[in-house]
Structure 1
Amino acid sequence: MDIALHTKKMKSKRIVRLTDTRLLRLFKDEGISGAKVDEEALEVDRIGFQEMLEYLTHHEVDYVVTLNTSRLWRSDIVKVLVHRELKKYGVDIRSIEQPQYSIHKKDPSDFLINGLMELLDQYQRLEISLKLGRGRNKKAQQGGYAGGNVALGYKVEKGKKSLVIDDRQAKTVQRVFDLKEQYTSWTLTQLAEQLNEEGHRTKQGKLFTKVQIKRILDRKAFYSGLYHYGEITANGKHQAIL
């Protein structure tokens, strides 16, 4: 796949001939002409093409010049990918053997391929989501941290995927349950006011509200050592606070 980058010497509304352009750089892929596709990343998997895209990020270019568009793609999927990348940089294609070719011309097949690729992209995202969900469910069934918001009293150490106790926050959690047991008739608002008066704060360093107190009380089973994730409940691997 041989690709030459050109820029115009002068701007004009008329069609510019190749003699009116200046060669900037030549890119070449050794071996088979055309291009391969990285199906997971949905991008053209050729070293020369990727080097060209890197060049476009730092230089002003008007045209990618090639002998024939078949040097750039051999399938409609690759064609759409090439068009997508070049349009990002406002670059058109000049083909020596196809002088009238332009990526800006409307082609009904492009709409079809673009639609199919959008569906493929959605399918891949859904497939990844399902795989992640299965992995998280399996971890939850074993009592391990499966992701999501970390409850007050715990933290996730950097580089690890397990819950460990945050000593300062754990004292706050314990104090909530102590107050609830000591003052059974107190409302959630009264519990929050007492915590705030004693200097306790949320993870974000803010004052407690009745909503946050209820959330702590509702997690009594979790703070006692059980792990709950979706419909799964198991003996947690995390250390109990209560």
Structure 2
Amino acid sequence: MKTRVVGYVRVSTQGQVKDGYSLAYQVEEIQRYCAHHNLELLDIYKDEGISGAKVDEDDLAIERDGLQEMLSDLKWRDVKYIVVLNTSRLWRADMVKVLIQRELRRNQVDVKAIEQPSYSIYAHDPNDFLVNGMMELLDQYQRLEIALKLSRGRRKKAQQGGYAGGRVAYGYKATKGQKTLSVDPVQAETVRRVFDLKEQHPSWSLAQIAAELNQEGYTTVQGKPFSKVQVKRMFMAG
């Protein structure tokens, strides 16, 4: 029986495309590696950050939907490895590395890095001990800060009918210069359909609801198919 794996590819700057790290190149290398090592490649998750938006090279200032979806799917996908060209596709900063590795360990998944054949997240790294300690302190600090400042202020604004900033829930839109949100009619129709599907098929998983949305022709704001992560966000916002 073949070992089941998923792949992950990422391009964060236009320069990386020129330097040979294009998504297509990474995909081909992963497919070739899996075929050569008799691995069953279930899926390849992708993130491309070259749309013109400023990208933080430490991976701390951008959202990577492909990475988040992959980490979420590990809870139900029975895979042993994530295959990448090299570990810099997953992380660059030590803090990001520790956070991702936490999720991988929870799901008993390791990393296969094509350009780093001996790499394993379970190999001892002295730097990780220090960073883990720092992250635990940072987690505590952020929880206190959010509890004492951010959440209180945003909750008060929301209670007064105002827009408190941050990500706008799917189904609404924020107009520049205004302090209130308005309903986006197209997105609102998608949200209604999500709740209808859940009511009609209470046993369906998030992935099944996402698949049905895609089958019916619904798309995200970016015109892409829905994932289970995005469906979950709609339920949480509702």
Using structure 1 for the length normalisation, give the TM-score: 0.43
Larger Rg: 1
Using structure 2 for the length normalisation, give the TM-score: 0.44
